[in-house]
Amino acid sequence: MPLLLSVESDGSLREHLLDVEALSVQEPKIRVRDLTRVSDDGSLILKGVSMDIPKGMIVGVIGPSGSGKSTFLRSLNRLWEPPASTIFLDGVDITSIDVITLRRRVGMLFQLPVLFEGTVADNVRYAKKTGSELSVGQAQRVALARTLANEPEVLLLDEPTSALDPISTENVEDVIVKLKKQRGSRP
């Protein structure tokens, strides 16, 4: 069941249910409670965000540039350290989970992928080019493959198709839908 989140101008999130199939009564995979983030200069980035994301749901977050979408995603795997007792994974406060363990469980693919030093093969056994010799689109595909190789329970995608052509974008979207079908019911 897809859910679309829009970041409002005041930093709050608004939920838009795209499919009104019966909602699951199980414990959510991710629970966010009153998450607020203020920038170093005092600007409000996120304001009291609260939501439950059921297991197996594909969620989209939309909003204008600079509205806090990436900050919200980064908080879900502690690239930005959220306050204790604001984000839970399977009912456990993520600030109590070892950060490396959490990031293996909650994988993230960035808009501008970061590749490791060395060849692409060192990143995901892909040709003999170095990461710096790849186009942004190729680097995004390598970074997605590397992220998926860890078999994360949750996959966070920050504009993963921004540098891809329409056919590659469709392929990435198809992979995500297939993964949801294959892994969405896994414990």
At residue 120, the pLDDT reads: 47
Strand ranges (E), the chain: 3-7, 13-17, 30-38, 44-53, 59-62, 87-89, 92-93, 106-109, 154-157
Pairing of strands 30-38, 87-89: antiparallel
CA distance 122 to 37: 36
pLDDT digits (tens, 9 = 90+) for 45-72: 999 999 998 888 878 787 788 888 889 9
The partner residues of 53 in beta bridges, in order of sequence, read 30
Position 35 pLDDT exceeds 90: yes
For residue 146, pLDDT over 90 is answered with no
What domains are there in the chain, each with its CATH number?
A: 1-97 (3.40.50.300), 98-187 (3.40.50.300)
Averaged over 3-27, what is the pLDDT? 57
* Average pLDDT of the chain to the nearest whole number: 76
pLDDT confidence band for 22 (50 / 70 / 90): very low
What is the Cα–Cα distance from 54 to 62, expressed in whole angstroms?
Answer: 19
Q: Where do the H-state alpha helices sit in the chain? A: 69-76, 99-105, 120-124, 136-149, 166-183
pLDDT digit string, tens, across residues 114-124 = 555 555 455 55
Q: What is the pLDDT of residues 84-103, one digit of tens each?
A: 999 999 999 999 999 999 99
Rounded-to-integer distance, Cα 32 and Cα 186, Å:
22
